Structure 1
Amino acid sequence: MTPRSHQIQEIHKMLGQLFIFLFLISPSHSCLLSDKKAEETLVPYGEPFFVRCPLEPPKSNNSYNITWFINGSNTEISTNLQARIHQNSNYLKFFPARLEDSGFYLCVYRDTKECRQEVLEVNVFQNDNGLCYKEEALYTYRHFRDKSLVIECPFVTEYVDAATAQFHWFKECQPLNMTTDKYLITNQLLSITDVIPQDNGHYTCVTSFIHNGTNYNISRSIANTIQELPLTANLKPNILYPTDNFIDAELGTSVTVTCAALLSRNLDLIWRYNDSFISDYSDDGRVIDGILQYEAVKDGEKVECRNITFSSVKEEDYGLRFYCYADSISAYSQAFFILKRPGPNLQGLLIAIFVTAAFLIISTIIIIKLFKVDLVLWYRSSCFSHPHQNDGKMYDAYIMYPKNAIGNSAYDMDLFVLKLLPEVLEKQCAYKLFIFGRDDLPGQAIADLVDEAISQSRRLIIVLGQVSNESNLGVDFEQKIAMYDALIRNEIKVILIEMEKITDCTFMPESIKYIRQKQGVVRWKGTFTEASLSPNTRFWKNIRYRMPPAPRHSDKDLDYISTEN
């Protein structure tokens, strides 16, 4: 660069800084100015060049306007497409760029909600003396040594169609020998085979561009560096997630999936769909590719992460494979996930079933506890019951009661044992009872008679009342025989009936106390009236429950009194 050119550039920088100051204090502009440092764009002298406004909105926003200003002027840059410098949509275009174009330019963005502005620095350069490039303006490519490599002519697709344009390649400003198999040009790509260290160097690509009937050259120069592969280059990256799995996603909801891989040298994570970048998957911008993060740690090793976000899941997203590529120099790994509709929420159903089952079980237990007696009696009277009466025994119950009571107690005891028990259990329920003093015959040996009657009975009913001494319960031998069968031989079940609540158990035999404590008693609370003769009162139901099943015809053939006590 000549001293004069250098002076011109310094003057332009000073004017640009002055321009920014004047623009900020101008009352005609109230837009928010970005606090970022002015972005510098290097523009080759004598070539067309496009500068893109970085404030361009998303594709979905069509109601906006971008305006360009130059060097402190409040006058917009021309929109005339024939002008050498003009603005066209989001671009500031130079046809071609000249040294005096260097300076600061202002890009102003306005829409219905906001106004923003940003300053860009344009620096038009000339190539170094005797070279086809400028060292400070080189694009840099770094490759690890492999059998082949590809170099791209950068940032030319905005000017020409790479599929139809013709590209020429130079190395150290000398044309490449395209007659050999070492080089191959495909669109804007240069492929080099049989790579050797001598393939390092400066490469330049040149193509033609026609504007308003004028032919321009577009050139890009690249510093290509080849490095030796590290020892771990061929190791495949370890992707921790996804794991080729399905992910539940409700229609219309937002879903974020993280690709996580153990961090290795020069690892790059990329989300793709059908061999394309994920940004090309949807036109409405609802699928967003996140930025690389290095925050997670696993077993002391750093994990590299990159998110993909579906702001609103649509029907067409289901069943597709979205791949995460982990590229590490010459080796890569890939893993995918598939969005699917979530299945039915069985958790709520299972909870409902469990609660219902628990409620039914508890209710059943309570019902059985409260109505156990009624249920057993109903079952015995149903067709499912099979009473076992063929056990060879003659009596359903042997009645034992105090025979030496005096006064009203004696009268009530005799009335209950000799009148009520036979009336209900024998006449109405078809049981057969043995009552000593009623069913024995004169002249029989009492001990043998009692022993035989008890052994021929299925139950032993002991009627208790308030007694003044233990002898009042019954004759001593009768008690001993009964207790022997009930407690020792365990061949007969005992039913205790209290005519009234007994509070003083001092004179009660120990055997009776034991049975009373073990199985409880049935307490008579009724009165000696016609209602007390009904087998459907609570007292008689409890007695019938403890008795063996009665013959089934008893419930049909006998006339019950249904009045409850």
Structure 2
Amino acid sequence: MTLIVFFLMFITASATEKLCPLRASIDVLEGEYFFLCYLESMQEHFQEEAYTINWYKENAGKQQLIKETGRIVSQMNFLEFWPAELSDSGNYSVTHSNGKQNFTIQKWTLNVLERNKSSCFNKNHLTTEIKNAGTGHSLKCSDLSVNENDSITWYKDCKNYENETERELDFKTLTVQHSGIYTCKILISHKGKIYHSTNTIKLVVEEDAPEAGALEIVGHNEEIETEIGKEETLNCTGFLGYYMREDASLYWLINQKFPEKCTGIPENEPSICEEELKKLKLGNKFYVTTLLWIKKVTDEDMHRNFTCMLQADERTQMKIVKLKKGNTRDLPVHIFTTGMVLAVLFPCVAVAVVFVCVMFRVDLVLFYRNICRRDDTAGDGKEYDAFVSYLKDCISPTEEEREFALKILPMILEENFGYKLCIFERDVSPGGGKCIEYSCH
């Protein structure tokens, strides 16, 4: 009995894995049945205690709990839309709660596209397949329904195609005439109503079709040296080949969880976010690229696996990026050179300053007194600051000497700088001082 249960769970897990690939962004047509789903490992079935599953949709930047209606139904790992409407576009997430903690399991961005009123398909909701003429090929219908009793109809260029009703449309030998747009329509019965889901493929058959090219992620697993607190931008680019694969999906995972999307508003950005997917064409080659922006690297980021996933044509490629602390870097050349120049110039400048201060100390003192208006001789108890002595008794001084001693010196030192001079002829009264005799030659 245990083996039977295990076998049934294995089959269920395999079917769920087929229906629930890891996709960050999903496109669906309005008015069609659709569901979001996530994978749970069988180990969780045995180990998890009682828990509840909650589905959320982002509304005005906040997570709002989704309540079941007749149109939106939650069943175990599935959130079903009967049918999807334009208003369902947005960001979705699912959480497990054990009553103490909530764990976010997966996140999606759902884009509900408007139906083309004049056609049976929307050109933004199709995949392209390019094949060589003369080879065999089969087109596969959507996996949105696993009920073998559901009615299936194939259309080519919106016209019923040879009454085909199988899930796969087989071509034993392709010809150029097989080129066209094929739409598979599945009718699904639910509570007495009929809903439908479509899958559209553009088939291009060429006589000498170019090689599609190997699907691959540019670059290999790598470790990036960085520092705590530094901003980092991780790039992931996928090579799609020589035509744009509309079903290609490129996204980042952080320890197997989807990061938040960047808002474009710097002050509102989360600490780690993923920028919008971009499609590129270089020459005749097609690429998709996405960036993961880390605002400030933390110590926790050093222990995370940043995984870039590329999916297309049921193939998956991945690249793992890890961060590690870099070695202490040498000073840049320009900073080192500047430091050495300053180290040499500083002693020279210091010596020059000392030399100027010694040579022009008197001028500097006078300049200081003139600027600060301070008299350091005031209050020192001395009547005079200086005595002016010149030859006047032995010879008759010239008018220039006399004028310098009696006029110029007092004018400069007394009037401008506040010094008080003792000049014999002016300040010593007759008989009040001793005559100083000088020898004359």
TM-score, structure 2 as length reference = 0.37
Higher RCO (CA 8 Å, separation ≥ 6 residues): 2
Identify, as 1 or 2, the structure richer in helix: 1
Q: Which has the larger radius of gyration?
A: 1
Q: If each structure's strand is expressed as a fraction of its own residues, which one has the higher value?
A: 2
**Normalised by the size of structure 1, how large is the TM-score?**
0.30
